[in-house]
Amino acid sequence: FKIQWFPGHMTKAKRMMEQQLKLVDVVVEMLDARIPRSSSNPMLIQMLGDKPKVVALNKIDMADPEKTEKWLQTFKNSGLPVCKVDCSTGKGVKQMVAAIQQVARPVTDKWLRKGVRNRSIRVMIVGVPNVGKSTLINRLVGKNKVVAADRPGVTRGQQWVTIAKGLELLDTPGVLWPKFEDPEVGFCLAVTGAIKEDVYDRETAVELLLERLMHIYPEDLRVKYAIDFSEAEPVREVMAKIAVARGCLKAGGVLDIDKVIQLVLRDFRTGRLGRFTLDEPSENN
């Protein structure tokens, strides 16, 4: 699976992220629960140094609940504070704030030892495009008060917002660039909507997606589209069955495969097809 990508964008995004990180004490890395591996950026660890981090698995409502539990365990096993959130409803957001306060403790303790009091912990949300950063920020900001806008390093238009006692959030998220080198990662980011559609082939993406779903979630596909297929069936035949079942036909009864591509992508991305997780959690849980 090929993504046409531009290393220049990555360099710029990395430089920006490094600048923004200087402003904060704690980082929330938001991951897409459907693709926790593919939506993470391994370079973040290096950039963070010893800055504490909380992992927030978002879009839980669209992910496979069993695999989500396994993923949570995987993160816990590696010693990372992790929580699950559904920013579309706000579920889990309170617990996430509590997790931030907890990882910030060593920082505030250090300040106290130095005699620094009444200083707020500053937090920033980071993640790949479309993972739900702005939705989370809007939820957290809500009716909360904007603190001082003028602080060194804060770009015009950015603001700090008090979201809990002693906790200030930067209201602009940090955008992490996706890692495209691995075709599997590129595929996962493309079908979940983290990558703009003009840099990959949608038809190939949908073929791969359907092949994957035919193996890991065949029943959801059968029920959702009211079709039958064997797992070994060529994907084009399954696409033809979807076209017939859904009336994706052009004049003269010709199958409209473009329409099927559009339909499957939309159904997958909205969660209408089912709750799917494409990145497999590690086996040793």
Which residues from 237-276 bind ligand G4P, rule CB under 6 A? 271
Residues 6+ apart with CB under 8 A from 276: 34, 62, 63, 64, 213, 216, 217, 220, 268
C-alpha distance from residue 134 to each of 43, 112, 171, 182, 243 (Å): 22, 33, 9, 27, 36
Stretch that binds ligand G4P, among 12-20, 126-134, 196-204, 239-247 (CB under 6 A): 126-134
Check the annotation: does 133 bind a ligand: yes
Closest distance of CB 16 from ligand G4P, Å: 15
Check the annotation: does 58 bind a ligand: yes
CA-CA-CA-CA torsion sign (165, 36, 272, 190): positive
Q: Pick between residue 61 and residue 201 the one whose CB is nearest to ligand G4P.
A: 61
Check the annotation: does 130 bind a ligand: yes
Stretch that binds ligand G4P, among 7-15, 93-101, 124-132, 243-251 (CB under 6 A): 124-132
- Asked if 172 interacts with ligand G4P (CB under 6 A), we say no
Residues 6+ apart with CB under 8 A from 21: 27, 47, 48, 51, 124, 174
- Asked if 218 interacts with ligand G4P (CB under 6 A), we say no
Check the annotation: does 165 bind a ligand: no
Which residues from 70-89 bind ligand G4P, rule CB under 6 A? 86-88
Q: Using the 8-state DSSP alphabet, how is residue 272 labeled?
A: T
- Asked if 36 interacts with ligand G4P (CB under 6 A), we say no
Which residues from 181-200 bind ligand G4P, rule CB under 6 A? none
Q: How many C-beta atoms surround the C-beta of residue 193 within 10 A?
A: 16
- Asked if 133 interacts with ligand G4P (CB under 6 A), we say yes
Closest distance of CB 236 from ligand G4P, Å: 29
Q: Pick between residue 110 and residue 266 the one whose CB is nearest to ligand G4P.
A: 266
Residue 235 and residue 119: Cα distance in Å, rounded?
Answer: 58
Q: With contacts defined by CB under 6 A, how many residues of the chain interact with ligand G4P?
A: 17
Pairing assessment for the beta strands 160-164 and 167-170 based on DSSP bridges: antiparallel
Question: Which of 17, 31, 54, 62 touches ligand G4P by CB under 6 A?
Answer: 62
Stretch that binds ligand G4P, among 68-76, 107-115, 129-137, 243-251 (CB under 6 A): 129-137
Residue 284 and residue 180: Cα distance in Å, rounded?
Answer: 27
Question: Which of 37, 59, 67, 179 touches ligand G4P by CB under 6 A?
Answer: 59
Paired with 82 in beta bridges are: 55
Q: Measured in whole angstroms, how far is the alpha carbon of residue 228 from the centre of its chain?
A: 32
66-78 burial by CB neighbour count: b if 16+ within 10 A, else e? ebbebbbebbeee
Contact 52, 27 (CB under 8 A): yes
Closest distance of CB 227 from ligand G4P, Å: 25
Closest distance of CB 87 from ligand G4P, Å: 4
**Binding-site residue positions for GTP:** 58-61, 130-135, 174
Q: Which residues bind ligand G4P (CB under 6 A)?
A: 58-59, 61-62, 86-88, 127, 129-135, 173, 271
**Binding-site residue positions:** 58-61, 130-135, 174
